[in-house]
């Protein structure tokens, strides 16, 4: 069965510092995609970054990068130069088929301190 | 260009009642997925609609049903409401064949069952 585990319920980071949010996954499929979403208090899920299981390079999108370690089945999100607006819930998710259902983790609440 | 629109934003229902939630997808999108997000949890996939048919379903009872209209908008119906159905219900739209990176989420409908 597919599963996403986020072991950090809450994280604090000082403004302008980098922070790593942990995510491990479990799947028996060889082809899958890993996603990170940000959920502000308004509720909508905002897509941040994607990593395909066959991608050899770690994904990068602006201040977001994904540290993909396939053998360890981990897909940690790194946010560089944290901003106050980064305070939100962050969810790691997985999909085993293109455009199909997403399996989400429990989320990590990130608080950025001034 | 309006994104994904969900209505209503908030709803209070009594146990045993029935509820209908609505979702208008982003312009150009033809696929709608529904998720249930209980407080403090990650979203859980309910089902996905494409071409007015349920294409994929998560582990939810038959009390949860849906519909997609010719204009691609969608409804989620929940019968015989239970207290445990209280949650944020998220709708995501996408264009078929594209990755979930192209999916957009609405702000959700917060359902409270009393």
Q: pLDDT at residue B44 above 70?
A: yes
Asked whether the beta carbons of B39 and B62 are under 8 A apart, the reply is no
Question: Distance between CA atoms of B89 and B72, rounded to whole angstroms?
Answer: 18
Q: Residue A43 is nearest to which of B96, B104, B108, comparing CB atoms?
A: B108
Give the Å distances, CA to CA, from A95 to A2, A16, A26, A61, B54: 9, 32, 11, 19, 18
Structure tokens at A28: 């028996």
Interchain contact A28–B (C-beta under 8 A): no
Residue B97: pLDDT band (50, 70, 90) is confident
Q: Smallest Cα–Cα separation from A108: which of A86, A91, A84?
A: A91
pLDDT in tens, A74-105: 999 999 999 999 999 999 999 987 777 899 99
pLDDT in tens, B62-95: 999 999 999 999 999 999 999 999 999 999 998 8
Question: Which is it for strands A108-113 and A10-14: parallel, antiparallel or unpaired?
Answer: parallel
Interface residues of chain B, partner chain A, Cβ below 8 Å = 4, 31, 33, 35, 40-45, 48, 56, 58, 88, 90, 92, 94, 96-101, 103-108, 110
Task: Judge whether B68 and B52 are in contact, CB under 8 Å.
Answer: yes
**A100: nearest CA partner in chain B:** B100
C-alpha B110/C-alpha A24 separation (Å) is 29
Cross-chain Cβ contact B108/A104 below 8 Å? no
* Per-residue model confidence (pLDDT) at position B45: 96
Tell which residue, B4, B8, B40, B39, has the closest CA to residue B22.
Answer: B8
Mean pLDDT estimate for chain B: 94
Which pLDDT value is given to residue B65? Answer: 98
Q: Which residue of B has its CA nearest to A6?
A: B42
- Residue to test with chain A: of B26, B43, B59, most A Cβ within 10 A: B43
pLDDT value, residue B84: 97
Taking CA atoms, B114 is separated from A17, B10, B51, B61, B72, in Å, by: 43, 13, 35, 20, 32
For residue B99, give the nearest of A43, A45, A98 by CB distance.
A98
Sheet with B64-68: strands ordered across: B5-7, B19-24, B74-78, B64-68
A31-47 average pLDDT score: 92
% pLDDT > 90, chain B: 88
Model pLDDT, residue A81: 96
Q: What percent of chain A has pLDDT over 70?
A: 100
List the single residue in B45, B96, B108 with the smallest CB-CB distance to A99: B96
Cβ atoms within 10 Å of A50's Cβ, excluding its own:
19
Region A48-52 average pLDDT = 94
Ranges A51-60, A78-87, B13-22: which has the least confidence: A51-60
């Amino acid at each position: 069965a597919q599963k996403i585990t986020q072991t950090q319920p809450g994280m604090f980071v000082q403004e302008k510092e980098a922070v790593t949010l942990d995510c491990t996954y479990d799947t028996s499929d060889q082809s899958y995609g890993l996603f990170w979403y940000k959920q502000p208090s308004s509720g909508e899920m905002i897509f941040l970054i994607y990593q395909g299981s066959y991608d050899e390079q770690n994904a990068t999108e602006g201040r977001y990068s994904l540290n993909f370690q396939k053998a360890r089945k981990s897909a940690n999100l790194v946010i560089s130069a944290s901003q106050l607006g980064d305070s939100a819930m962050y969810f790691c998710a997985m999909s085993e088929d293109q455009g199909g259902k997403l399996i989400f983790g429990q989320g990590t609440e990130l608080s950025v301190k001034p | 260009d309006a994104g994904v629109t969900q209505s209503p934003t908030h709803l209070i229902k009594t146990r045993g009642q029935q509820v209908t939630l609505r979702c208008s997808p982003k312009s150009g999108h033809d696929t709608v997925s529904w998720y249930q997000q209980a407080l403090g949890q990650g979203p859980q996939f309910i089902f996905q609609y494409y071409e007015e048919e349920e294409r994929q379903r998560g582990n939810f009872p038959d009390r949860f049903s849906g519909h997609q209209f010719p204009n691609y908008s969608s409804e989620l119906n929940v019968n015989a409401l239970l207290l445990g159905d209280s949650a944020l219900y998220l709708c995501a739209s996408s264009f078929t064949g594209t990755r979930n990176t192209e999916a957009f989420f609405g702000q959700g409908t917060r359902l409270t069952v009393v």
